[in-house]
Every structure is written in structure tokens, then in C-alpha cells.
């Protein structure tokens, strides 16, 4: 049969010459642990067989508690203590991520196959499993060598604000003593082959005890010999078939490959079943330990953790600083226990896969022959991995962006948050605040389209009609394009919009636009003659958010002083793309819309009035806001009532005002259930004068509020608790997504234009308060001077 030794240092002879120092304030004498061969030099020599002791009756397994629903409430305990900071393995592994999720190992049984455990120690309290036993014939599980107690403490030592604690400090320890009777007493500092010996038969029996007593993970900080015999291989096979995770130390010979005792079962996929991890050692700076065997041929299942200067007590409760892969293994085994408690749905294979997949990449990129998969990192392991989705639904959810609000919504915030439960690729439940995944469009650049100078605007008028075309140069040819500017007044529309108007008989006029909206057509056909402003727009002329019209048609019937106009329009709502490819981000995504307007206009002497009613149907947006992922596609229908009037007196003066009131019914579909009503409004007031300093100059002043959501939001039905026992959502909560901003944009603009030489000089001064309806933004102040001439 084979035997193995626990991993003692080649420098262990120094241990006999130095007295241990009781630790105060973190000072300690270091005992370095490395590998030694079993029974002498290299190959795992034969030894006389030892008759195994009778197997103790298997105690009744401890009942597994019903899994608590997840997410667990945020704990109020402060785990980031001086004791935690002194626990080098926990700090390196970022174990706070687990503790702050209330994962401490409670309720999880971890097997420790070693030299037993100090039964008199208070470091384990009542957490030593009643099935703990000796399987080598010692008659007691009480530790005589110290190694087993130190390993068990590193894994599950209590947290009491003194010294250090184990990484899974609330786990239950199933201590299994496997050292050959009397072998630990043969320790000779001058002989590397002396000391504790562990028969394979005892280790195999210990694995069976761990398996039958519900251990989720077993730590084996042993090594040496030339491999693993059939008896132990079959015990490992039985354990992994039952889903038990096994963590084995890599060895301390500074070799290129792990010890054969670890690699033989780990690399046999039919036995390992993805449940064996080989533990290598690093220091606190993630540098591979000089003594540690490297990943080598076992890189795919090799995980590194701190194994240098790990503080733990021996069998006499004397603390030492221990080093060796013996103390890397319990860090990983403890991490597995934390995951098992936090996520009761995980299988052993999934826990191992998570630990390996989320390891911190060090050394060469990816899996390498030194560090294997990397360094244990619980921050990453306790974050969602893989595709995430809202619990109870099939749709995926983004952790960064699930919606983009539009300009009328500005800085709208749901102050109470939008708490929900999501599941990751391992069906683990996490809490998320969906409110943090809602993006907000910044203020639009109001002048970006207006000040384009690379376009030619050609227009022609004839009795009863007009044509206006915008020509933009390209590399190969000139194309007719839509004008990228806010919908302006009638003068601007007639001059540069891609429109054509005409007359059908005495009282009927018509117009159509290509890549131009119906708002300008309605204004033009009804004879509105408003002053042109660059920034302070008219809320009744535009959608209030970015759109691209494909086509529009309008027809007007005149009856005396009363006119009736009907207009229809279709096009796309534009939102900034957030695609997976960086080259596509920032480009516009397009979502369809349709709009129909019925307008009435009438003159009362010098007073011109208009009343329009509009229905806007958005296929996949809500007032220009786009929802995606688990929030599903949105659909909205809006109704606007627009009124405007302009009073002209003394031939040169005019006073105008316009107002919009809107109501939007919105509904989410295909994901989270949600619906709501929004109220919107906007207005503009202006005064204008002709012939201020000469017969041909013009002056104007306008105050305007662009369209803004005044009140409303969406009521979302969100999952707020996940029950692992039934694998289902057991609590749903209706929560409000507020879409009314705090900011209120107010625009003030003054304009003046006058003929100059062979052209026209125009100047504009403007101020935008709360630009884009963002209250936290400062005033946007600007001035524009333009000179244009025909040629």
C-alpha cells in the first residue's frame, strides 16, 4: 500500500531548534511547510500494510436545512475588521464579497483529512461535526501533530476579533484523522522522510465517511509518494460520483508539475468529474511561492491561493505562521463552502467551475503553466457570471444599460430605486437596482444642424405653390437629404425644407415632404408666419425628441376664414445605439412611428389662431425613450392638443404664443410587465418687429419651454425574492419608474438680421436654463453670427 506525508518543509529541522513564540500583535515565528516523499526518496516506496481499524457505525446524517430564499438581506455586521485584515488568505481572496452577502459557511460541512483536530481548542466551538473520527487506528481524532488543527483553522477557524479567522469561519468541520499511529512522534528535523505518515487505506476510509455524512467539500493537504493506489482512487471516484468537491495541495518541491498524489486523480476525467481542484501557493502580492509546485500539465484544474505566512494554531493552541500548499488548499475549500451556502442551487461541478472561471488572471494571459487558472478571487465569484436575466422570465438583462431616456424626461430618477432579482448563467439569484441601468440622453446640440455650411438650399416659388430642396455634397455625388435641424418657423420651412406645395382648385391646397415632417407642412399651408429662432423652438412644431421623417402629406380645405388641415407622417424615432461593437456605438438606432394631425385655423382680423389635435403612435419607444433587454419593447400612443395665436399690429409688430398639452399611454411588452400614463407640456412666447433700424431688418425675442414630461411614469411588476427550494419567484412587487425630470429647460433667445452688401447678416444670442431638462447642469449661453448670400 501507499502512504503519504503531510507537507513539511525541507527546512523543518529549524523547527526543532527554535521555540515557538506566542503571537502578540501579529508577531510570529514562521514554520515553512514544503513537500516530503513518503518513506524516503522519490517513488512512493512500499511499506508494511496496516490492518485498518473497524469502521465506526455511520451516524445519522445531520439534516440539511431548507435553503433560505435569496437574495439575502444586506448584513448589518461589519466584517472588515482588524482580524479580517490580518487574515492574509481571506484578504487576498476578497472574501468580504462573500461575507457582505451573509455567506460565512454556516450550515456547510467541510471534511478535513489530516492529523485530526485539537478537541480542546475553542477556535471551533460547537462546529466540530459529531461524525469526526480517526480512520487509521489512533483511537481518537484529537490532533497530535498540529498540522491538521492548523489546516482546519485556516479553513474554518472562528471569528472573534482576536488574531485571525478562517475563510469560512462558520462552517462545520468534519475532522478525519488519517496519520499512522506513532508516525507523527518520529519527527526528526534532520530527516526529511520522518514524521506523520498517512496510509491510503485510511484516507480512502476518511473520504467514505465524508461522503456519507454530507460533506460538500473535502480538503486534503497531503502529498508525497509516486501516485495514488487503486483503493484511494476508488474512494475518490465514489466521492465525486456523489458530488463531493475535493481540494488537494499541489506539493512543495518547486517542480514544474503538481505532485502525482494530486495530479493522478485530478487529470483522470472519469474519476474527477470536474470536482477536483489542485491548490498552488502564492504570496500576498500574487507571486507564485518559491516552494510551490507549478501548474504544469494540470493547469486546467490548478488554482492558486495564499499559502505563505498563514497564521494558525497548532495542536497546543500555539499560533504559528505556516507556509506551504497545505495552507492554500483550505483557502480554496473554504471558498467552495461560502459559495455552497450562498447559492444552494449550485452543484459541486458548478462551484468548481465558478472558482476556476472567476480566478484573478496573473502571469501569462489566460490559463498558464505557472498559475494555472489564476488566483482565487471571491469578488468575481460572487458577481453574476454568464448571461443574466430577470428571475421568472426568459429575457436577458444587462447589468449596465436596459433603457435610454429621451430629452423630455431629462434627469428623471426613481429615488426609491427599482429593486429586482436576476439570475446569472448558473441560476444564482442576485439583487439589482434596475434604476442604475437606465441611461439618460445628454442635452442635444441645438446648433449642430443649423450651422451646417456644406449644404446648398434651393427653393422656387410659383403662383399657388413652392418647392424647397436641400442638396448635400458627398464623395461621389450630390444627394437630397433631410435637414438636420429643429423644426423652425414657416420662413425657414419654406426656404430650405425638402417640400413641395401646390393648389387643387380655389380652396384646396396640398403639400408633401420627403425626409421632412408634417409640422412644417401644416404651418406652411395654414399661413403661419412666425419669426425664425435657432435654439428657442416652438413645442407645437416638433416631436420633442429626435426623429427622422420618411414622408409626410398634408391637405388643407378653406371655408371662408376657417381652414381645416389633415396631415399624416411616418418615420423613425432615433436613439443612440449601444451595440456590442465599439464602432457602432453612438450611431442612431431606429424605431418606427406614425403621426396624424387634424388642424383648424381661423383669422379674426389681425389675430391668427390655430388648434391642432395629433395622435402619435410609437412602435418600440415611449416619447423617444428606448427600453431593451428584460424591460422588453415599449409601445406608446400619445395625444397632443396644440394651440397657437399671433397678433400683428401697426404692420411691423407681432406677438405670438403657442402651447402643447399631451397625454401618453405607455406599455412594456415582451419582458417586465409595466404600464403608465405620462402628461407632457411645452410652450413658447415671442415678440417680433420689422423695420427696426431700416425697412428690411428684423428683430425678435422668444421665451420657450421645450416639451417636457410634467407628471407620470411606468408601474413595473418586478420579482423581489427568489426561493431556492422551489426554484421560483415567491414575491413580486409593483414599483414606480418615474419619468418626470427635476430639471425644466427654459430657453431665452434674441435674434436680429439685416441685409448687408449682397447678402444677409443674422445674429442670435441665447440662454438655456437646465439644458436638456437636467437640473444639475449650468446655464448654456451662446451667440451665433451668420452671413449668407445667394450665388
147 and 293 inside one domain: yes
Residue 720: band (very low, low, confident or very high) from pLDDT cuts 50, 70, 90: very high
Determine the Cα–Cα distance for residues 81 and 87; give it in Å rounded to an integer. 10
622 and 722 inside one domain: yes
Q: What is the pLDDT of residues 577-627, one digit of tens each?
A: 655 444 445 567 888 999 999 999 999 989 999 999 999 999 999 999 988
pLDDT of residue 670: 75
Is residue 387 in a domain?
no
For residue 489, pLDDT beyond 60: no
Determine the Cα–Cα distance for residues 354 and 541; give it in Å rounded to an integer. 56
Q: Range of 178's domain?
A: 3-39+100-183+199-381
Q: What is the pLDDT of residues 31-72, one digit of tens each?
A: 333 333 233 333 222 222 222 233 333 333 333 343 444 565
Q: Helix (H, G, I), strand (E, B), or coil: what is residue 246?
A: strand
Determine the Cα–Cα distance for residues 294 and 301; give it in Å rounded to an integer. 12
368 and 511 inside one domain: no
143 and 277 inside one domain: yes
Q: What is the pLDDT of residues 354-411, one digit of tens each?
A: 999 999 999 999 999 999 999 999 999 999 999 999 999 888 888 888 888 999 999 9
How many domains is the chain built from?
A: 2
DSSP string computed for 512-563: EEES--HHHHHHHHTT--PPP-SSS--TTTS-SS-EEEEEEEEEEEEETTEE
10 and 135 inside one domain: yes
Is residue 190 in a domain?
no
% of the chain with per-residue pLDDT over 70 = 81
580 and 715 inside one domain: yes
pLDDT of residue 475: 41
Determine the Cα–Cα distance for residues 217 and 355; give it in Å rounded to an integer. 13
Is residue 561 in a domain?
yes
Which CATH number covers residue 12? 3.40.50.200
**Domain-terminating residue out of 323, 358, 381:** 381
Determine the Cα–Cα distance for residues 281 and 259; give it in Å rounded to an integer. 13
For residue 238, pLDDT beyond 90: yes
466 and 363 inside one domain: no
369 and 478 inside one domain: no
Give yes or no for a contact between 91 and 157, defined as CB atoms under 8 angstroms apart. Answer: no
Q: What is the pLDDT of residues 122-172, one digit of tens each?
A: 999 899 999 999 999 999 999 999 999 999 999 999 999 999 999 999 999
Place of cell 424615432: 573
Phi-psi region of 697 (alpha: psi -120 to 50; beta: other; left: phi over 0): beta
Is residue 783 in a domain?
no
Q: What is the pLDDT of residues 768-782, one digit of tens each?
A: 999 999 999 989 999
Is residue 777 in a domain?
no
468 and 375 inside one domain: no
Instruction: State which H helix or E strand residue 151 sits in.
Output: helix 147-156
Q: What is the 3-state secondary structure (H, E, C) of 732-757?
A: EEEEEEECCCCCCCEEEEEEEEEEEC
Q: What is the pLDDT of residues 270-311, one digit of tens each?
A: 999 999 999 999 999 999 999 999 999 999 999 999 999 999
523 and 617 inside one domain: yes
Q: Which residue has the higher pLDDT, 453 or 212?
A: 212
**Domain-terminating residue out of 724, 739, 754:** 739
Place of cell 491510503: 200
Segment 66-93 shows an average pLDDT of: 80
Is residue 54 in a domain?
no
Q: Give the CA distances from residue 366 to residues 276, 299, 329, in Å, rounded to whole numbers and listed in that order.
A: 20, 10, 21
589 and 732 inside one domain: yes
358 and 489 inside one domain: no
| b/e 619-636 (16+ beta carbons within 10 angstroms → b) | ebbbbbbbbbbbbbbbbb
171: closest CA among 107, 235, 100, 234?
Answer: 107
Determine the Cα–Cα distance for residues 678 and 625; give it in Å rounded to an integer. 13
Is residue 307 in a domain?
yes
Determine the Cα–Cα distance for residues 363 and 369; give it in Å rounded to an integer. 9
Q: Classify residue 696 by its DSSP letter.
A: T
Helix ranges restricted to H, 213-289: 230-241, 260-266, 269-272
3-state helix, strand, coil in the chain (%, to 5): 15, 40, 45
Q: Classify residue 146 by its DSSP letter.
A: S
Place of cell 523547527: 15
Q: Classify residue 442 by its DSSP letter.
A: P
Is residue 142 in a domain?
yes
**Domain-terminating residue out of 314, 348, 381:** 381
pLDDT of residue 480: 36
Q: What is the total residue count of the chain?
A: 791
Amino acid at each position: 500500500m501507499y502512504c503519504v506525508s503531510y507537507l513539511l518543509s525541507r527546512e523543518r529541522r529549524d523547527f526543532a531548534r527554535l521555540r515557538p513564540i506566542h503571537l502578540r500583535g501579529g508577531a510570529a515565528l514562521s514554520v515553512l511547510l514544503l513537500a516530503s516523499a513518503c518513506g524516503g526518496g522519490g517513488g512512493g516506496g512500499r511499506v508494511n500494510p496496516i490492518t485498518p481499524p473497524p469502521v465506526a457505525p455511520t451516524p445519522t446524517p445531520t439534516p440539511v436545512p431548507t435553503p433560505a430564499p435569496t437574495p439575502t438581506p444586506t448584513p448589518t455586521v461589519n466584517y472588515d475588521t482588524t482580524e479580517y485584515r490580518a487574515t492574509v488568505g481571506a484578504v487576498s481572496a476578497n472574501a468580504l464579497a462573500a461575507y457582505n452577502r451573509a455567506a460565512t459557511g454556516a450550515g456547510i460541512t467541510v471534511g478535513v483529512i489530516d492529523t485530526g483536530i485539537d478537541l480542546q481548542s475553542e477556535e471551533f466551538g460547537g462546529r466540530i461535526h459529531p461524525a469526526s473520527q480517526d480512520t487509521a487506528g489512533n483511537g481518537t481524532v484529537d490532533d497530535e501533530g498540529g498540522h491538521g488543527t492548523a489546516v482546519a483553522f485556516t479553513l474554518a477557524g472562528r471569528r472573534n476579533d482576536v488574531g485571525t479567522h478562517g475563510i469560512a469561519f462558520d462552517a462545520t468541520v468534519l475532522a478525519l484523522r488519517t496519520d499512522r499511529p506513532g508516525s507523527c512522534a518520529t519527527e526528526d528535523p534532520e530527516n526529511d522522510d520522518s514524521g506523520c505518515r498517512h496510509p491510503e487505506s485510511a484516507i480512502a476510509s476518511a473520504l467514505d465517511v465524508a461522503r456519507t455524512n454530507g460533506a460538500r467539500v473535502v480538503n486534503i493537504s497531503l502529498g508525497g509518494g509516486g501516485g495514488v493506489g487503486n483503493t484511494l482512487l476508488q474512494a475518490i471516484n465514489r466521492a465525486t460520483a456523489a458530488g463531493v468537491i475535493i481540494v488537494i495541495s499541489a506539493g512543495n518541491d518547486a517542480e514544474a508539475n503538481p505532485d502525482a498524489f494530486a495530479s493522478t486523480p485530478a487529470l483522470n476525467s472519469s474519476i474527477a468529474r470536474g470536482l477536483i481542484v489542485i491548490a498552488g501557493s502564492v504570496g500576498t502580492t500574487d507571486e507564485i511561492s518559491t516552494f510551490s509546485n507549478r501548474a504544469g500539465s494540470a493547469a486546467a484544474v490548478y488554482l492558486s491561493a495564499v499559502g505563505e505566512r498563514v497564521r494558525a494554531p497548532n495542536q497546543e493552541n500555539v499560533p504559528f505562521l505556516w507556509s506551504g500548499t497545505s495552507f492554500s488548499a483550505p483557502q480554496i475549500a473554504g471558498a467552495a463552502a461560502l459559495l455552497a451556502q450562498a447559492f444552494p442551487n449550485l452543484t459541486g461541478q458548478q462551484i468548481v467551475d465558478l472558482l476556476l472561471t472567476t480566478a484573478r488572471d496573473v502571469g501569462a494571459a489566460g490559463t498558464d503553466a505557472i498559475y494555472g487558472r489564476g488566483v482565487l478571487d471571491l469578488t468575481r465569484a460572487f458577481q453574476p457570471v454568464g448571461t443574466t436575466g430577470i428571475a421568472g422570465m426568459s429575457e436577458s438583462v444587462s447589468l449596465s444599460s436596459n433603457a435610454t431616456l429621451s430629452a423630455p424626461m431629462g434627469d428623471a430618477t426613481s429615488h426609491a430605486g427599482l429593486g429586482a432579482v436576476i439570475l446569472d448563467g448558473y441560476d444564482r439569484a442576485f439583487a439589482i437596482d434596475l434604476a442604475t441601468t437606465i441611461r439618460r440622453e445628454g442635452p442635444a446640440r441645438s446648433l449642430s444642424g443649423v450651422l451646417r455650411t456644406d449644404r446648398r438650399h434651393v427653393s422656387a416659388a410659383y403662383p399657388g405653390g413652392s418647392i424647397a430642396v436641400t442638396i448635400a455634397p458627398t464623395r461621389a455625388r450630390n444627394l437630397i437629404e433631410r435637414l438636420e435641424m429643429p423644426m423652425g418657423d414657416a420662413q425657414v420651412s419654406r426656404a430650405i425644407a425638402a417640400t413641395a406645395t401646390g393648389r387643387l382648385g380655389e380652396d384646396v391646397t396640398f403639400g408633401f415632404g420627403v425626409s421632412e415632417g408634417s409640422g412644417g407642412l401644416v404651418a406652411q399651408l395654414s399661413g403661419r408666419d412666425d419669426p425664425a429662432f435657432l435654439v428657442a423652438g416652438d413645442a407645437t412644431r416638433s416631436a420633442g425628441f429626435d426623429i427622422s421623417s420618411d414622408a409626410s402629406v398634408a391637405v388643407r380645405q378653406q371655408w371662408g376664414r376657417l381652414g381645416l388641415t389633415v396631415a399624416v407622417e411616418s418615420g423613425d424615432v432615433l436613439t443612440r445605439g449601444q451595440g456590442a461593437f465599439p464602432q457602432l456605438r453612438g450611431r442612431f438606432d431606429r424605431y418606427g412611428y406614425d403621426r396624424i394631425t387634424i388642424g383648424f385655423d381661423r383669422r379674426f382680423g389681425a389675430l391668427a389662431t390655430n388648434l391642432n389635435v395629433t395622435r402619435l403612435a410609437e412602435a418600440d419607444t415611449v416619447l423617444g425613450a428606448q427600453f431593451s433587454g428584460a424591460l422588453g419593447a415599449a409601445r406608446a400612443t400619445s395625444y397632443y392638443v396644440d394651440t397657437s395665436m399671433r397678433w400683428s399690429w401697426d404692420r411691423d409688430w407681432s406677438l405670438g404664443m403657442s402651447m402643447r398639452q399631451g397625454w401618453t399611454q405607455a406599455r412594456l411588452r415582451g419582458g417586465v410587465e409595466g404600464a403608465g400614463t405620462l402628461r407632457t407640456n411645452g410652450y413658447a412666447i415671442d415678440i417680433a418687429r420689422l423695420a427696426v433700424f431700416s425697412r428690411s431688418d428684423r428683430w425678435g425675442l422668444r421665451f420657450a419651454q421645450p416639451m417636457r414630461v410634467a407628471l407620470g411614469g411606468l408601474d413595473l411588476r418586478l420579482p423581489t425574492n427568489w426561493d431556492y427550494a422551489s426554484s421560483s419567484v415567491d414575491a413580486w412587487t409593483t414599483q414606480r419608474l418615474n419619468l418626470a425630470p427635476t430639471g425644466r429647460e427654459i430657453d431665452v433667445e434674441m435674434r436680429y438680421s439685416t441685409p448687408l452688401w449682397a447678402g444677409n447678416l443674422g445674429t442670435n444670442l441665447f440662454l438655456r436654463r437646465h439644458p436638456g431638462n437636467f437640473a444639475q447642469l449650468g446655464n448654456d449661453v451662446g451667440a451665433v453670427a451668420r452671413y449668407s448670400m445667394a450665388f
